[in-house]
Structure 1
Amino acid sequence: MKYNTLLYYCYSPIADAEQFAADHLKFCKSLNLVGRIIVADEGLNGTVSGTAEACKAYMEHIHADERFAKTEFKIDEVEEPSFIKMHCRYKQEIVHSGLRDTSIIDPNKQTGKHLEPKEFSEMMHDEDVVVLDVRSNYEHNLGKFKNAVTLDIDNFRDFPDQIEALAQYKDKKVLTYCTGGIKCEKASALLLHHGFTDVYQLHGGIIKYGKEAGGKDFEGKCYVFDNRIAVDVNSVNPQVISKCLNCGITTPKMINCANPECNEHFTQCDECGEKMQGCCSAACMEHPRRRPYDGTGYYVKVPQPLASK
């Protein structure tokens, strides 16, 4: 049986978004889809997985709604569904910006100039260009564009605090990129708000770039927010850049720490994985709730135990 995994987002206002999320969850379950969708007043952000037929029906359903008719789907063929359960939740933003006043940025009104993958590939090496990775540490440590500027942030909500440090690039063309494009919509809008004048973004993100430009000059793997954890994007000049946290050897494998109270994202080679039982440290190895390590380093979230009264 053929399965697909769909990555998408759409900034489009949703009235009564909380009710929409509840109804949308029921619809997804009716198609036997699994995945994770965030619904907010500002739009949708999702990754869903299921049979090719179910995914086709889902895309048709989204496009039939005039609010989401412009939604672009990145489609991957997979051997099995990329999630175990279906979640559809309401949140304040589809990408948490960390801003107290979120009204200062609206991707529907102002955002960076969109570059198609081939345009991005041609422009990224120009002398007056800075390629800016707006993703978190664990993402760019696994893979990034050659010579890209990376930020020391644990979550995208930390991005606004980096604006002052980025001011040195105000006289450059700033090319932003992320996994699928959604973070760049807000990152580029925020840069423009703070006086950057020549801001661009990679349309469709790293995933689309891999499909349409062969992933040229993207070093390492691309982190994805599903069971696959990481995917290859570069078929032109690939190389591995990530290193094992424990021994320092080059390895492309990223896992979650087996200690559920740590759950740190990190790269670990297979040898250290067996030795450390999928943990990032000796302390995590001794944790009483350490999860059994099966070699994948991916764990389904389980409820935390209730505190005793």
Structure 2
Amino acid sequence: MSEKPYHILLYYCYTTIENPEVFREEHHRFCADLGLLGRIIIAKEGLNGTVSGLQVACDEYMQHLKADPRFEAIQFKIDEHPHHAFQKLHVRVKSEIVHADLHHINPKQGSGQYITPHELEQIKDEEDVVLLDVRSNYEHKIGKFKNAVTLDINHFREFKYQISNLSAYKDKKVVTYCTGGIKCEKASAYLLEQGFKNVYQLHGGIIQYANETEGEAFEGKCYVFDNRLVKDINKKEPIVIGTCHICGANCDRMVNCANPLCNVHVPICTNCGETMEGACSKDCKQHPDKRSYNGTGYYTTKLNGYNPYKGLRKKETN
């Protein structure tokens, strides 16, 4: 058997889902039957998810989605993994498939032109090209493209308030990028609405860039939304750009604060992790609910007999 028999899938698709609640019910049951775990968001505007499962289950899942005309254009980013990257299966209905607070923006009606990872390699150093990172602070501080413009935001919904800070790039070729591409759909569409003329987006995001190239234009690691927390991108000349939240030393080791009420994701080096017992501050270290530090800074969710079918209506029988 392969040392990495599981796959991690990252995907999204802007499409029309007429009845998200009904689709959620059907989709949740299908994923549960396949033994998939992860997080899936469904809205009238489309589908967004990241799941893990055995390769055969992931293959069936991808074939199932692509066979549906609504999702035939979906692009899956695939990573191999030795085990599940999640503990539970969550399939939820929300108002947007990525929380942008840009409900009026429909990427299907116009967004930045796609460029492939190899096309990015060819144009990234041109004088009139600006690489714009539309991710949050904790993401780009651990890794980003060289010379990229980053935004001081704590959540993607703050992106729309950054337009005035980007006005100097209105006459440039702006290439937006994010982890898997979904944020760029709305970010690039919003830039076009705000008068930016030459707007592009990296198709498949950083993850697809890593899958198709040596990743040498990327510094540090990419924050990912599963149990790995970070993923290596640059296979040629990897460097560390993150700094320990406690001591300031170079560090790309992401940790969840041991205080569950804080739970912030920050880089903390091994020594500070031991000294602070996995906490991000003295207050968190002294918190009465602080979790026991296991040396990794990742805390497995207690399943407590978790049942992926809980909340699903029983199938009707004739």
Short-chain TM bin: over 0.9
Distance 1:61 1:98 in 2: 30
Instruction: Work out whether residues 255 and 278 of structure 1, in 8 Å CA contact, stay in contact via their aligned partners in 2.
Output: yes
> What letter matches 1:27 in structure 2?
F
> What letter matches 1:210 in structure 2?
A
Q: What residue number does 1:86 align with?
A: 89
Report the more deviating stretch, 230-239 or 147-156: 230-239
Map 1:40-119 → 2, pairs under 5 A:
40-99=43-102, 102-103=103-104, 105-119=105-119
Q: What residue number does 1:294 align with?
A: 294
SS of aligned partner of 2:144: strand
> What letter matches 2:291 in structure 1?
R
Q: What residue number does 2:212 align with?
A: 212
Distance 2:110 2:69 in 1: 21
Instruction: Work out whether residues 179 and 207 of structure 1, in 8 Å CA contact, stay in contact via their aligned partners in 2.
Output: yes
> What letter matches 1:248 in structure 2?
G
* 1:241–1:26 Cα change, 3 Å: same
Q: What residue number does 2:21 align with?
A: 18
> What letter matches 1:4 in structure 2?
H
Give the TM-score taking structure 1 as reference length.
0.95
Q: What residue number does 1:307 align with?
A: none
Report the more deviating stretch, 164-173 or 221-230: 164-173
SS of aligned partner of 2:118: helix
RMSD: 1.2
Instruction: Work out whether residues 259 and 279 of structure 1, in 8 Å CA contact, stay in contact via their aligned partners in 2.
Output: yes
Distance 1:27 1:289 in 2: 37
Q: Does structure 1 residue 259 correspond to structure 2 residue 262?
A: no
User: Where does structure 1 lack aligned partners over 5 or more consecutive residues?
Assistant: 304-309
SS of aligned partner of 2:10: strand
Q: What residue number does 2:283 align with?
A: 283
Q: What residue number does 1:165 align with?
A: 165
Q: Report how many residues are paired.
A: 300
1:251 is displaced (CA, Å) by 1.2
| % same residue | 57
SS of aligned partner of 1:108: helix
1:301 is displaced (CA, Å) by 5.2
Instruction: Work out whether residues 32 and 89 of structure 2, in 8 Å CA contact, stay in contact via their aligned partners in 1.
Output: yes
Instruction: Work out whether residues 87 and 301 of structure 2, in 8 Å CA contact, stay in contact via their aligned partners in 1.
Output: no
Instruction: Work out whether residues 217 and 237 of structure 1, in 8 Å CA contact, stay in contact via their aligned partners in 2.
Output: no
Give the TM-score taking structure 2 as reference length.
0.92
Distance 1:276 1:142 in 2: 20
Query: Runs in 1 of length 4+ with deviation above 3 angstroms?
Result: 300-303
User: Where does structure 2 lack aligned partners over 5 or more consecutive residues?
Assistant: 304-318
Distance 1:24 1:298 in 2: 29
